[in-house]
Structure 1
Amino acid sequence: MTTRPSGRAADALRPVSIETGFARHAEGSALIRMGGTEVLCAASVEPRVPPFLRGQGKGWVTAEYGMLPRATHARGPREAAKGKQSGRTQEIQRLIGRSLRAVTDLTALGEISITVDCDVLNADGGTRCASITGAWVALRLALEKLVRNRVLARVPLTAQVAAISCGLTEAGAVLDLDYDEDSTAAADANFVLTEAGGIVEIQGTAEQAPFSQAQFEALMRLAQAGTAHLFAAQLAAVDKALAARSDAS
């Protein structure tokens, strides 16, 4: 057993913070920091739905994801300049959208669309997981604003959702991989979970040799413990934002 590059314990998250209201014009926003990874999540509300949902009385929640050119060690070209999104970008933003829809009552939302933009300012591993965790906060605050403005009778969320990465490294099964660990892990997985223990999605890959069910279960236990901390951070951020709104009104 070796020490993790960061010196963290196997079950330790990187420092986590969620700052709300960072995007001043968005209906809901959250800047989430997980170690060296920083993602700005901004929720925008539109009083219409995509054509395939018109007339059904249901709403839509989706996401877009992108990385600033110098979010990584070397500059990455803007995808807009290339004229198309990479397969990785499309896969991640679909994951974020699925994760948010899994905990949203789209019928109670009515014919309203909410798009959560997740822009990576700095990347040090786990950007998709940080995006999902921060996006839920941005979505919750946007929905709270719709309730306050009497557009909705209640917040149409059925659960919290958060995500965390785990992996098998030289230090064993570890929680919340940073870039150094992620780039050399023998296996890694992303867990998207609800606070009640529900599984929204699990993405797991053996980078070298296949891993066992026992190893997977060890990763799952780490993910459950890690997301418990993230759920608490989400609620603390939402409570602080709502208290600030009450004081301002």
Structure 2
Amino acid sequence: MSGDVSRPSGRALDALRVVSIEPGFSHHAEGSALIRMGGTEVLCTATVEPKVPGFLRGQGLGWVTAEYGMLPRATHKRGQREAARGQQSGRTLEIQRLIGRSLRAVTDRRAMGELTITVDCDVLNADGGTRCAAITGGWVALHHAFSKLVRNRVLPAVPLLGQVAAVSCGLTDAGAVLDLDYVEDSAAEADANFVLTDRGAIVEIQASAEGAPFTDAQFAALHTLARNGVSALFAAQHAALPKD
């Protein structure tokens, strides 16, 4: 790999795509956010229900879970709706479990009481990094749902312990790069998704080599890029929070 090779997008190695988060996009959900990261757009909606799954009843703990899906033409070719197939793909199940774990990691479930919040993440347009965008936008939707519960005097305070965001990194011909789009992701020698909190903690790291194994030094370079990248995502999240 050579540092003289430029990225297809022309971005610097450590540059995110243009990021925007539009809160309140859904008219009916208790919390929502449309997140755009370059050509990837994900609508995140948070729904509150006054109950918890059976395994949590009577424990005084709330539950935050997630569902994930892609519109048929979110990608270059039409994908069949999973409902038409009668079952979700393994990829879908893995991603929505990741989103749920990530959001629960920064939620005080005892403080939220016996409520369930389901964060639906629907990919409108996919250009790489959809799971990372879903986690980042999902946290904003979750915060807005909690804020509505506070305004309605259901909860005394927003039961979030901090922020969580996610970003992809990879090893390409240009070197270690931040926030892969589809063109880079499809050709990367290694790629990783980092789910990190604003307090510097790690929620989850998914990393794999597509060809030759990568070294500790290369992984450290990816980790550094991710930490710098999520700091900008935390700022974008904060700017999309309720102003009251």
Q: TM-score, normalised by structure 2?
A: 0.98
- Equivalence for 2:76: 73
Q: Give CA deviations for 1:30-75 in whole Å, capped at 9, x if unaligned.
A: 0000000000000000000000000111000000000000000000
2:42 to 39, 44, 53: 39
Note the 1:1-249 alignment, pairs <5 A: 1=2, 2-238=5-241, 242-243=242-243, 246=244
Structure with the larger helix share: 1
Q: Equivalent residue of 1:22, what SS?
A: coil
Which amino acid is 2:168 matched to?
S
1:124 Cα deviation from its structure 2 partner: 0.1
- The percentage of aligned residue pairs carrying the same residue is 76
| CA deviation profile, 1:131-150 (whole Å, cap 9, x unmatched) | 00000000000000001111
Deviations 1:77-127 (A, max 9, x none): 000000000000000000000000000010111000000000000000000
Aligned residues: 241
Tell me, in whole angstroms, the C-alpha distance in 2 between the residues paired with 1:28 and 1:133: 14
Matched position secondary structure for 2:94: helix
**3-state SS, counterpart of residue 118 of structure 1:** strand
What's the offset of the Cα at 1:225?
0.3
- Measured after TM superposition, the shift of residue 196 of structure 1 is 1.1
Q: What is the CA deviation profile of residues 142-197 of structure 1, one whole-angstrom value per residue up to 9, with x for unaligned ones?
A: 00000111100111100100000000000000000000000000000000000111
Q: Distance in 2 between matches of 1:115 and 1:214?
A: 38
Runs of 4+ in 1 over 2 A off after TM superposition: none
Q: CA RMSD in A?
A: 0.5
Q: In the alignment, residue 3 of structure 1 is paired with which amino acid?
A: S
State how far apart, in whole Å, the 1-side matches of 2:93 and 2:151 are.
33
Matched AA of 2:238: L
Q: Point out where structure 1 has 5 or more consecutive residues left out of the alignment.
A: none
Structure 2 CA distance for aligned equivalents of residues 159 and 208 of structure 1: 36
Distance in 2 of aligned mates of 1:235 and 1:197: 16
Letter in 1 for 2:172: T
- Which letter maps to 1:149? N
Structure 2: runs of 5+ lacking an equivalent: none
Distance 2:52 2:225 in 1: 38
> Secondary structure at 2:140's aligned position in 1?
helix
Distance in 1 of aligned mates of 2:200 and 2:170: 20
Post-superposition offset of 1:233: 0.2
Distance of 2:33 and 2:80 partners within structure 1: 25
